[in-house]
Amino acid sequence: MTTDLILKFADADILLDDAAYHKITSQDNSKELADSLLKDLIKNENSVYLLTEEMVDEFLEDKVELREPIIQSKLLPQEFDFQIIHDASKKSYTNGEIKDFSSYFANRYHKLWQMLTKKKELQNVQPIKNAQRSEDVVEVVGMVNNIRNTKKNHKLMEIEDETGNIPLLVHNDNHQLYEDAERIVKDQVVGVVGSRKGSLLMASQILNPGIPRIDEKEMNFSAVFLSDTHIGSSTFLEEAFQRFLKWMRGDYGDEVQREIANDVKYLVIAGDIVDGIGVYPGQDKELKIKDIYQQYEEAARLFGELSNVKIIIAPGNHDACRLAEPQPALPEEYAPDLYQMKNVEFVSNPSLVSMDGMKTLIYHGRSFDDLAMTVKGLSHQNSDIIMKELLEKRHLAPIYGERTPLASEIEDHLVIEDVPDVFHTGHVHINSYKKYKGIHLINSGTFQSQTEFQKIYNIVPTCAQVPVLNRGSMKLLKFS
């Protein structure tokens, strides 16, 4: 402690005189006092190079309470250019009326219609009502209903707009189209080029709104991505998490790893920060902390050690939040200690933020369950493929009314309107990373070891592996 204290000040180019040193060390909370004092001196840019007893006294008078759970080891204060571009927290007005339900779908349709009708293949889109009578090639934009296979194994679905609906047939002779059609899900909005055959529309092309290739943005900092820490669970890997925190503070890992830690400006958490209460039957048997408030208190204690990075927290399905998506930001009443932290931003699930110009789309990933169950070839193991598919569909949870509860809002906040630089998800507890059309697709795994539920389904989580976007290149750091 003694030399530590002197060195800590020396690192910041501040010398302690003997009296100041004794003053600090004679306090009960000397370590916290030293950290807090140092932080204050740096923050106020005082050009102090010799700290006297008087100055310590002055500080003690000003700061009666030293209760911030802050132990700061990275001393240089950072400048953040952080913006919340899209957040649904305060824009959620649903009252569950049927009117909202139809306006929700109308809004989804309209937003995606605008994207689809910009495509060169869809320059002559007409209402489905007109397509029912047309003799020529028709172009329509419709929401998909009732997908099934016919006896001869063609794909038959119904597409709908506000003027009417028409059955759409995808012939299995058209191999590529049939393959594409296998990835179409209920309630997604597609563009169709086809010709009328009796009462059917025979598809020749089915188009997603799609995502353009983007130029990669230059990054002069690093960002860390976490999700599914599940603090409070008896399977929360606390020791590994402590190593992670230590690394974040620059005190763990080899030289290269420490250098990366020093470069970190942002820490994004894509939901399930705590394990929650009553999320599934019998969950209390697997909880170490059985009180939701205490779970968030513990989260604040742990993340409170990181005061020099901006922490962005979005909720997941285990958090104390409305389950229906978009989930508003975590309410302050459940996590007052986290709200006390000045470096934490709370956002909705999903949300779009800008971290020094890097547009980051944060989504917990609940809809992966529906996609993995519905679409052949998609699974929890490769969420990068699901993420790619969602980007092309330009919707985070296209299937309505399955496992992902969606709120029928006046506006559909799950449409992917802006093209992000980073798409960050969690939920499946399995890390994945892919760069797709210049976009970083990141699933940030978990800090929870295999649960009883996962044992039954043979899901093997990738634990304590933290993705770091280090100036544009992905590094996966292991803390297990």
Distance between CA 292 and CA 334 in Å, rounded?
7
In the block, residue with structure tokens 């009796």: 198
In whole angstroms, the minimum distance from the beta carbon of 317 to Fe ion comes to 5
Nearer to Fe ion, 141 or 387 (CB): 387
In whole angstroms, the minimum distance from the beta carbon of 454 to Fe ion comes to 12
In whole angstroms, the minimum distance from the beta carbon of 426 to Fe ion comes to 6
Q: Which residue, among 198, 67, 225, has the nearest Cα to 134 in the 3D structure?
A: 198
In whole angstroms, the minimum distance from the beta carbon of 350 to Fe ion comes to 14
- Tell me if 272 contacts Fe ion by CB under 5 A: yes
Would you give the end-to-end CA distance of the chain in angstroms? 29
Nearer to Fe ion, 249 or 427 (CB): 427
Site for Fe ion in 331-350 (CB under 5 A): none
Residue nearest to Fe ion (CB): 427
In whole angstroms, the minimum distance from the beta carbon of 174 to Fe ion comes to 38
Nearer to Fe ion, 233 or 317 (CB): 317
| Contact pattern from residue 218 through residue 257 relative to Fe ion, giving x for each residue in contact according to CB under 5 A and a dash for the rest | ----------------------------------------
Spatial CB neighbours of 462, under 8 Å, sequence gap ≥ 6: 429, 430, 431, 445, 446
Distance between CA 364 and CA 423 in Å, rounded?
10
Instruction: Report phi then psi at 196, rounded to 5.
Output: -80, 135
Distance between CA 334 and CA 260 in Å, rounded?
33
Q: How many residues lie near Fe ion (CB under 5 A)?
A: 4
Sequence letter at residue 309: V
Q: How far is CA 272 from CA 76, 233, 276, 425, 451, in A?
A: 30, 11, 8, 11, 14
- Tell me if 317 contacts Fe ion by CB under 5 A: yes
> Which window, 40-48, 206-214, 316-324, 403-411, contacts Fe ion (CB under 5 A)?
316-324
Distance between CA 331 and CA 51 in Å, rounded?
41
Nearer to Fe ion, 229 or 470 (CB): 229
In the block, residue with structure tokens 């005082």: 46
> Which window, 205-213, 272-280, 322-330, 443-451, contacts Fe ion (CB under 5 A)?
272-280
In whole angstroms, the minimum distance from the beta carbon of 227 to Fe ion comes to 8
Pairing, β 351-355 against β 358-362: antiparallel
In whole angstroms, the minimum distance from the beta carbon of 364 to Fe ion comes to 6
CB 189 within 8 A of CB 130: no
In whole angstroms, the minimum distance from the beta carbon of 108 to Fe ion comes to 24
In whole angstroms, the minimum distance from the beta carbon of 422 to Fe ion comes to 19
In the block, residue with structure tokens 């802006």: 418
Q: Which two tokens stand for residue 101?
A: 């339900």
Nearer to Fe ion, 316 or 445 (CB): 316
| Contact pattern from residue 417 through residue 456 relative to Fe ion, giving x for each residue in contact according to CB under 5 A and a dash for the rest | ----------x-----------------------------
Nearer to Fe ion, 105 or 236 (CB): 236
- Tell me if 369 contacts Fe ion by CB under 5 A: no
Distance between CA 110 and CA 306 in Å, rounded?
43
Distance between CA 401 and CA 408 in Å, rounded?
10
Q: Which residues bind Fe ion (CB under 5 A)?
A: 272, 316-317, 427
